[in-house]
Amino acid sequence: MFTYSCDDRLAAVLARTNSQVIQGNMKRIEGLLTMRGLRVILLSMTTALAAHAAVTKATFGTMPDGTAVDIYTLKSDAVEARIMTYGARVVSIKTADRDGKIGDVVLGYSALDGYLADLSTYFGAVVGRYGNRIANGAFTIDGHEYHVPINNNGQSLHGGIVGFDRLVWQAHAVNGGVEMTLVSKDGDQGYPGTLTAHVRYSLVHNALRIDYSVSTDKATVVNLTNHSYFNLSGDGTILNDEVTLPADHYTPVTKVLIPTGELPSVEGTPFDFRKSTAIGARIGADNEQLKIAGGYDHNWVLRGKNGETKTAARVYDPASGRVLTVTTTEPGVQFYTGNFLDGTKYGKAGESHAKNTGFCLETQHYPDSPNHPAFPTTLLKPGETRHSTTTFTFSTHAK
Ligand code: GLA
């Protein structure tokens, strides 16, 4: 059996959540007592228990240096999610469509080799130390200039050449989930400070929740996110999926996909997803920003305060009826439509990973924040612990 040891800070967050749940349940129980009696209470308690995922662990493969890679399966009454220790990656998420047919809704590979050979997609990974781009791979903290690897068109992408997506994380099972831990040494990929990152995946009923927690021993910059590619039909294109992004502004980019620093309104542009719109409806529009990125690959400025839970996105797939709702405490979301998928690699069911066969909703701080003082800061100082939470909820919608 697993031991349920966990980080104190995460435990405090969970304790708060649990006490809210308990208080809510007590109110419901009082109501039920007066309304329908003991049988109903027992039924509701059984359902609540069943909603928490069962957790099992197995071996997924071995790294070239002999390090074992484990995979954890979280199984609730509604969803099965598998997460491996290489890159703390989501390998599969199985949910029912509107007819009850189960399908895998994320792109990936059936074996570790596929992930090791793929150096460009970041399928399912936690990316870091800095998710998305840093201009020219350079930034300054307290007057000291730091240089991190340039690995994308003259810029630094997703933490450098050996980012967090390519490392094997330590892991242990927790109640309903798995907690992954990575200690990135001072100077790792050029970033200052020893960074300790805890990423906890937990599954309750139809919601896969990711809790991030980071601390450092020297001032550094950090921006962790999850890079899962969703395909809610289980195969084929994502262009018919209908997307809502509750954001009034976005961060346009230069030709090398670095934010210009402006935060224009989405009004009257193909970036206006305030009303549900098919991804393909405007992706080919005569728009400079769409041309630069070959589709959508931009950061949307979410409404509400940084740190408060808000809706980041809702996606409805008319073919399967599946609905994905994303909430986050992060200030932005990178909506990426798989523009660089080139069809040369094949997935778990032998499907081609072609352009626009998956979309990402990377909840995050804005790209290149270290070089934009007006953006919400990604600076992390010693003595601070930064938490953030993103939840992916799966449901269905009738025709
Ligand atoms: C992010 C970036 C994209 C691309 C993918 C990985 O979403 O914004 O430009 O690099 O990662 O292929």
Residue 66, φ and ψ in degrees, nearest 5: 95, -5
Q: What is the reported pLDDT for 38? A: 46
pLDDT over 90 for what percent of the chain?
A: 84
Residue found under tokens 């936690």? 126
Ligand 1 contact via 289 beta carbon (within 6 Å): no
Banded model confidence at residue 324, pLDDT cuts 50, 70, 90: very high
Residue 391 has pLDDT above 70, yes or no: yes
Selection from 330, 351, 352, 338 nearest residue 295 by Cα: 338
pLDDT at 2 over 60: no
| pLDDT single digits (tens) 355-386 | 999 999 999 999 999 999 999 999 999 999 99
Q: What is the pLDDT of residue 185?
A: 98
- pLDDT > 70 in the chain, percent: 87
Read off the pTM.
0.88
pLDDT band at 7 (very low <50, low <70, confident <90, very high): very low
Question: Do 6 and 174 touch, CB atoms closer than 8 A?
Answer: yes
Q: pLDDT tens digit string along 80-113?
A: 999 999 999 999 999 999 999 999 999 999 999 9
**Mean pLDDT calculated for residue range 327-345:** 96
3-state SS string over 42-74?
HHHHHHHHHHECEEEEEEEEECCCCCEEEEEEE
β-partners of residue 17 are none
**Which tokens belong to 125?**
């990974």
16-68 tens-digit pLDDT:
444 444 454 445 544 444 445 444 444 444 444 557 899 999 999 999 999 99
d(CA 199, CA 185): 17
Q: What is the pLDDT of residue 270?
A: 98
- Across the chain, what does the average pLDDT equal? 90
Whether 368 lines ligand 1, by a CB cut-off of 6 Å, is no
Q: Would the pLDDT of 152 be above 70?
A: yes
362 assigned to active site: yes
pLDDT tens digits, residue range 165-210?
Answer: 999 999 999 999 999 999 999 999 999 999 999 999 999 999 999 9
- Give the ligand 1 atom nearest the CA of 120: 12
Q: What is the pLDDT of residue 235?
A: 62
Q: Is the CB of 122 under 6 A from ligand 1?
A: yes
C-alpha 328/C-alpha 388 separation (Å) is 8
Catalytic site residue from 227, 298, 365, 372: 227
How many angstroms is it from 160 CA to the middle of ligand 1?
13
